[in-house]
Structure 1
């Protein structure tokens, strides 16, 4: 299958072909916000999973689980605006960024147990939004950098609470973790909690991963590795929408461009898997039926 035709204005004419960015952030006040969504849509992007930015990046210094609601509500608002601009739609993914544990322990004087309790409570608040249908999935994980053993143990406990909540509310859990090609232990924890391991998504994944479903960063080599492996995967940019970090991670045009390139390289079946079959299997969403 060849690439979709592209009009002179840069928009794709590949009607009926979903293009999903599995993980990005949108900041309606400090960042590009809807301009970024327009860039994504102009290049043929149709669907977005929008993850709330780390709470402190939205001015939330939580002392109580309910304090996270401000960050969650901001994300719901930006998702609604994004859906109005897409041929498909956007969905919110809500949770507590695992890096918060260091901010609490190192900067705010929490002990690891107190940090664990607050972060798990924030996830329980996020799960309320899943329960009433306003959010699609949860976000959790553990630091991708070295921390003290007590902080590591607290972070793993928070992540395992996310798996329990995912099982309770029949939803996927996206993870921010250390770089790894083997997270079978983490997948086993999810299974123990009653959450099917394929519904655990490793955000910022490389092209090969044992355990959870990888959400592969749109590096060409990583995408080719994922295609060659023949296992389910998703595609993402982790666009951060931060004016202080304009070149950080990948821009919102990247997934549509990589989809077109993968088709040119003969990987149409893998593209369909990443944008139709795997989103349905992991999140229960219909990216074809929600077009138009």
Structure 2
């Protein structure tokens, strides 16, 4: 059996299928998952302090444990603060600085879960939509705080950001914080990128571009587990099916890289050794 890792998938134990969605992934040949907590407002509503973040993270940790029981490999939680929370907080009357401080508190809490071995990595980012200069600056400060937490806790940081294929500012800020750029993972990449490790959305054109590049990359679906949008963004069967398609197209080395070598270098996990 070959390891098959979906690097970015959501399981919603409150509103969605939760761990039951993992059956589709496993039945298609999938072996390993990184489960990202959904935005806090989808799981627990308004968050104003540590307790709300802990409630969000605990829900994700528990559903990830149930997911692991369904896999020939295992699942790991990746916990953090969605960058869109800043807009939620502004709508509730926070100013950008207060929103920044609360989001940084959430990242500190996520770092505690990494420190005690409960979570594998953290997530952060900045808005992928238009915001004011003050919100952009506050969001970048949140993201830089995530890099500091990642360096302190010796873990990778997944990012939700605007699109693009070059992120020199992100690489520089991560380096300033003591976090190697390869341990910064750009979620929803559309091919190879500079300044971080690409987590490529598993559409055929994007995956072919990544496989042709010989640059390190990961594969993801960004499955959101929303009963009103079944299969969005991509369904949980997608990564196993795309891996089969890429192997048949001759990209065996790229698949070994995406599912064994890159997970080991970025996260320190051994997907081959953790197979039953």
TM-score bracket for this pair, using the shorter chain length: over 0.9
- Cα distance in 1 between the residues matched to 2:104 and 2:256: 35
* Structure 1 residue runs of 4 or more that deviate by more than 6 Å after TM superposition: none
| Selected match of 1:43 from 28, 33, 36 | 28
Is 1:279 the equivalent of 2:263? Answer: yes
| Selected match of 1:222 from 182, 200, 206 | 206
Q: Which runs of 5+ in 1 are unaligned?
A: 1-14
Deviations 1:185-231 (A, max 9, x none): 10110001000100000000011211100000001001010011110
- Cα distance in 2 between the residues matched to 1:166 and 1:60: 26
Q: TM-score, normalised by structure 2?
A: 0.99
- Cα distance in 1 between the residues matched to 2:141 and 2:117: 26
User: Conserved in 2, the CA contact under 8 Å of 1:83 and 1:90?
Assistant: yes
1:9 matched to which residue of 2?
none
2:93 matched to which residue of 1?
109
Q: What are the residue-to-residue correspondences of 1:33-182 with 2, within 5 Å?
A: 33-105=18-90, 107-182=91-166
Task: Give the 3-state SS of the residue equivalent to 2:265 in structure 1.
Answer: helix
- Cα distance in 2 between the residues matched to 1:164 and 1:93: 16
RMSD of equivalent CA atoms? 0.8
Q: Please tell me whether Structure 1 or Structure 2 has the larger radius of gyration of its CA atoms.
A: 1
Deviations 1:139-194 (A, max 9, x none): 00000001000000000000000000000010000000000111121011000100
- Cα distance in 1 between the residues matched to 2:171 and 2:218: 17
The count of aligned residue pairs is 276
- Cα distance in 1 between the residues matched to 2:168 and 2:263: 21
Task: Give the 3-state SS of the residue equivalent to 2:71 in structure 1.
Answer: coil
Q: Give the superposition deviation at 1:59.
A: 2.2
1:262 matched to which residue of 2?
246
Q: What are the residue-to-residue correspondences of 1:243-258 with 2, within 5 Å?
A: 243-258=227-242
| Selected match of 1:211 from 195, 210, 213 | 195
- Cα distance in 2 between the residues matched to 1:276 and 1:60: 37
- Cα distance in 1 between the residues matched to 2:6 and 2:62: 18
Q: Give the superposition deviation at 1:243.
A: 1.0
Q: Give the superposition deviation at 1:68.
A: 0.5
Q: Which runs of 5+ in 2 are unaligned?
A: none
Q: TM-score, normalised by structure 1?
A: 0.93
Is 1:289 the equivalent of 2:245? Answer: no
User: Conserved in 2, the CA contact under 8 Å of 1:60 and 1:71?
Assistant: no
